[in-house]
Amino acid sequence: MNKDLPVAFTYPSQYFNIRDTLECGQIFRFKRLDDGAYAVYSQDKYAELNYNAEGLVEVRTADCNYFWNFFDCDVDYGEKVKRIAALSPIMDKAATCGKGIRILNQDLTETIFSFIISANNNIKRIQLIIERMCAKLGNETPYGYAFPKTEAMAQAPVELYTQIGAGYRDRYLSETANALINFDLSVFDAMDSEQTRKLLLNFKGIGPKVADCIMLFGLKRGDVFPVDTWLKKVYHEYFEQGHSERDISKYFCELFGADAGLCQQYLFYWRRLQQ
């Protein structure tokens, strides 16, 4: 851990598990350091996280307010866990297992491009593609490269995305970057989740699952439920109602309401740990 970075704040660890929060699939720009601490990158900002001698989460960064908000530190997750655990025995197990997960407040533009890259991909490869893209198009900072500006991504040739390993997503990254140049992302603020999803689906490389991930992790929409292979297993094993696969997300959204996104994270993390 970089001792030259100031300790910006500490936080109780009961409902803030560093590993669980960073390794649950909602963020890709992080790495585990040799001493067990974690480094986290967001836009052009950087933080390191570890547990101090008192067992508190210790966040070292020059951007205190940014990362306080990034880690959702104003929100009482204890109350959320209690409410969700009371829903059913399965949700009690899932919420107890994942109670240290916090939904991060990520930059929307970074979330859009990161989850376009995530489609039909694994985490290691997603991280590598994003790292290469930052090195090619992002501004250099004392701790690495910042996430590229949309303008830089739009100006880059499609071949650059091919070269960094994006595969068929190369043109999606290029076309969506160009589409976002003159697009006001604040329009989502006045839309409900159904309207937001419909608009997101107009961008290249954004399908239903990616749209839901963008809404949950980039727009703080708690009433969405991204469905992947793991959540399909959860549905068929514990919630089976005979829905078609395309309707599983809608079923969970209706079941969990405003807590759907956090329930999804708990179920996803709990089911993966059962392997």
Count helices and strands (H / E) in the chain. 14, 7
DSSP 203: S
DSSP 25: S
Q: Where are the beta strands (DSSP E) in the chain?
A: 7-11, 30-32, 38-42, 45-51, 57-61, 140-141, 144-145
3-class DSSP state for residue 221? coil
Q: Active site residue: 136, 149, 204, 209, which one? A: 209
**What is d(CA 177, CA 1) in angstroms, rounded to the nearest whole number?**
35
Cβ(249)–Cβ(267) below 8 Å: no
The contacts of residue 150 (CB under 8 Å, 6+ apart) are 109, 177, 180, 181
Active site residue 220: no
Active site residues: 209
